[in-house]
Every structure is written in C-alpha cells, then in structure tokens.
Amino acid sequence: MYVESVGVVGGGTMGGDIATVFLLAGIPTVVRDVNAVQIEKVRRHVEGRFRERVSRGRLTPQEGERRLGALRLTTGWEPFADVDLAIEAVPENMSVKRAVLSELDRVLPPLSLLASNTSALSITAMGRATNRPERVAGFHFFFPATVMRLIEIVCGEDTDRDTVLTLVRVAEEIHKLPVRVRECPGFVVNRVLMRSLSEVFRFQEATGVAPAAIDRAVVEAHAAPMGPFQLCDALGLDVALDVSQTLEHSYGERFHLGALITDRVKAKHLGQKTGAGFYDGATPDPDPTDVDRARELVRLQQLAAFTEAARLVDDEIASPHDIDLALRAGAGLPLGPLAWADAEGLDQVMAELEALRSRYGDRFAVPASLERLVHSGSLGRTAGRGYHVYRNVYGRTGL
Ligand SMILES: NC(=O)c1ccc[n+]([C@@H]2O[C@H](COP(=O)([O-])OP(=O)(O)OC[C@H]3O[C@@H](n4cnc5c(N)ncnc54)[C@H](O)[C@@H]3O)[C@@H](O)[C@H]2O)c1
C-alpha cells in the first residue's frame, strides 16, 4: 500500500519530532495528545524545526509553509479516520499502549497500518490488542528523531511481509535507514546500549566516581558521541529506567541501572525535559584523578556492548551487518561492537571475557558465536574473517 497520510499518537519527547520528520518529507501528519498543553508544545516544536531548515536554506519559505500547513493537531480521534499509517509514541507502558492500539484499530480505515515507537515492549502483545495483528509492527525512531538516521522495523510474531515491506519503503521515503529486526525485548540498539549503561552505573556505584568524570573519560576515548550520563539526561531518565527494567525482567541481572537513577526518577528529576537530571545546566568540570579512574570503565563498556551484540547474533535477531549498522546509525558509535571485536582480535576478546567472567560472573559469559569463531580460526580482522568478512586485511576499514 502507499502511505499518503500519517497519524502520531503522543506528542512528547519523541512524538513532536516524529511528526516533524514526516512533514519535512511532505507527508500530511496529524498529532494527537491527551494533554492540550502538550499539543501547543508540539506546534511550537515543529514550527521551530521548520524555521531552522528555512534559515539554513534547506527549504524555501514557500515550501516550508506548504509542508507545515499539512500539520493537524488534536486531542480527539476524528482526524485519524483517513490515516494510512498511525504510529504510537505514548509512555512506555504496555497497558497504555494496548489501549491506544485498540482505539486506533477502531478509528482507522481497515487496511491502514499500526506501528509502535516502543523501545523495548512486545509488538506481538500490542498487535493482539487489535483485530489486525498482521498489520502491526515496530517503527522505532531514535532520539532525536529529526537527526538520527536509524529506524528499527520490528516484526512481531503476527506481522506480515507486506507490512514490513511497506514500512521499509516509508522509512526510505523519509530519508531514514531501515534495519529489520526480529522481536525481542529491547530489539538491537537498546539491548546493546542498556547492557553497556549497566556497567557504567555498576562502576559508578562501586567507585563513587562522579558522572562528569565518567562522561569525560568516555568522550575522550572516542567510544561514544556523548557521555552516558549526558545521554540519559537527553533521553529522559524515566524512559531509560523503564527500558532497563523491561530488560532486567526479561534477561536477568546483566541489565541493572541501580539506585543513582532510581532516586532521581523518584524525585522527578528526569533530565532535560524537566530541567534537571544528572546535570541541571552546564556539565561541571571533573576532577582529573576521577577521569583517570574512569578510563578502565571504557574497555569494560566496550566488552559488555560486544557480548550483547554477539548474543543478538546467537539469537538470530538480526544479521551481524545490520547489528553494527544499527549501533552506528542509532547510537552514533564510531564502529559497530562486532566490527570492534574483529579489530581487537577475537581470541584476545575471548581471553579478556574469560578473565572478567571469573571476576564478575556470568554477565561476562563468552557468547556461543565467539567461541565458535575462535575455535574455527576466524579470529577477526587480521585473519580476514570474524563476525564480518574482510577482503583487504591490510586496508583501513572492515565493513
Ligand atoms: N525518549 C526517547 O529518547 C525515546 C527514544 C526512542 C523511543 N522512545 C519511545 O517512545 C515512546 C514515547 O516516549 P517519549 O519519551 O516521547 O514519552 P513522553 O513521556 O515524553 O511523551 C508521551 C506523551 O504521550 C501522551 N499521552 C499519554 N497517553 C496518551 C494517549 N492515550 N493518547 C495520546 N497521547 C497520550 C502524554 O501526554 C505525553 O505527551 C515510548 O514508548 C518510548 O520508549 C523514546
């Protein structure tokens, strides 16, 4: 089917930016929020993003006005009667999402598609709240949606091929990079990111090193585009905690963010959206001794991210190529975790994991795919074969 109009339900951190992406691509979009104040914020947000594009010469004022004119805002459901694709971006709570999906099923035309922007919840469970589970899939944007190129297209157990193909085309039409993912809690990017964040929070709790020192060490090592605490402030501490709790519930203690974030969420310090999170303005200058201590964490984080990416390979959630692509486009990592391990040497990575396992336990267990590759002599980049195949083993990049 051809998608000519889009509906977004929930105009919070993600919803307003998702609507902007569709409008910029010239696709008429309606946004619904239960909260009229939030609706006004969406209007200001979308107008602001359009003004930026026009002032940077990326859009003519006339074209900007025409595309912005295709935005509709509502607190009701009526405008959804002619929507081809509806995307829900309401809070990360299964009963709220199921109620929204069931309502959308009632108001949308029978052939329209339903999608969820969920970060970690089951698409299958949401789809079964409707009478069209084959037309329900995950369409997962990353923060900020106008900037990050990745979309994870998540297939639930009932999602049909036509739905997936249509969503891949829609993603391309709005200039994004679609990666197909089989359903599992957290999908690809959040599983890897949250596994790595869990090590950050564990390290912080054990050492008392200040968040600003940890952020500085990670950025200076070029391991990620921003520090983990800055990232949580940008995403929303409540969202990060919800996602990690879903993952802890599904996979066990290797996902655990701990008291530091829980206390802030309880105090409603949710990050940039409330004006305070780990930081309440500029990042303080860290103590250089603390930054030094935090350097050992960077390697731990990289190894943890790799183990989770390798488990995704083991569970056949996505291909090694798509996993690395997703982490680069969705989390801004300079190198996907599997390509990183290939570059380090898989035998070396395995030896480090064995040592970490005896020190910290099963959360650093050697993934089955790593063991297989090492035993078959596929030791990574220098061997020409590891998680990826390398044609020019002396060249610069492997992917
Ligand atoms: N924040 C992120 O960085 C991020 C990134 C990717 C995906 N997500 C996912 O996107 C979804 C939304 O997250 P968010 O950060 O934008 O949340 P948010 O809390 O900022 O916004 C949610 C909005 O939904 C509205 N809402 C609640 N119930 C509603 C209903 N029945 N109908 C219409 N509107 C309703 C609320 O008023 C609020 O404005 C979640 O599933 C989250 O996991 C978030």
How do residues 138-186 score in pLDDT, each as one tens digit?
Answer: 999 998 999 999 999 999 999 999 999 999 999 999 999 999 999 999 9
Residue 398 binned pLDDT confidence (cut-offs 50, 70, 90): very low
- Nearest 5°: the CA angle 277, 236, 190 is 130
For 117, the token pair is 């922007």
* CA 340 – CA 154 distance, rounded (Å): 25
Strand order in the sheet with 85-88: 71-74, 29-32, 6-9, 85-88, 113-116, 136-140, 150-155, 177-182
pTM of the model: 0.90
The rounded Å distance from CA 13 to ligand 1 centre is 6
For the chain, which domains are there?
A: 6-182 (3.40.50.720), 189-399 (1.10.1040.50)
For 205, the token pair is 């709790």
Residue 391 binned pLDDT confidence (cut-offs 50, 70, 90): confident
* CA 334 – CA 324 distance, rounded (Å): 10
The rounded Å distance from CA 371 to ligand 1 centre is 40
- Nearest 5°: the CA angle 312, 315, 321 is 45
* CA 272 – CA 277 distance, rounded (Å): 7
Main-chain dihedrals φ then ψ at residue 355, nearest 5 degrees: -65, -40
The rounded Å distance from CA 377 to ligand 1 centre is 47
**What is the SS3 assignment for 178?**
strand
Nearest-atom index, ligand 1, CA of 141? 6
State which H helix or E strand residue 348 sits in.
helix 346-360
User: Is the backbone of residue 128 left (phi > 0), alpha (psi -120 to 50) or beta?
Assistant: alpha
In tens, the pLDDT along 189-221 reads 999 999 999 999 999 999 999 999 999 999 999
Q: For residue 394, what pLDDT is reported?
A: 56
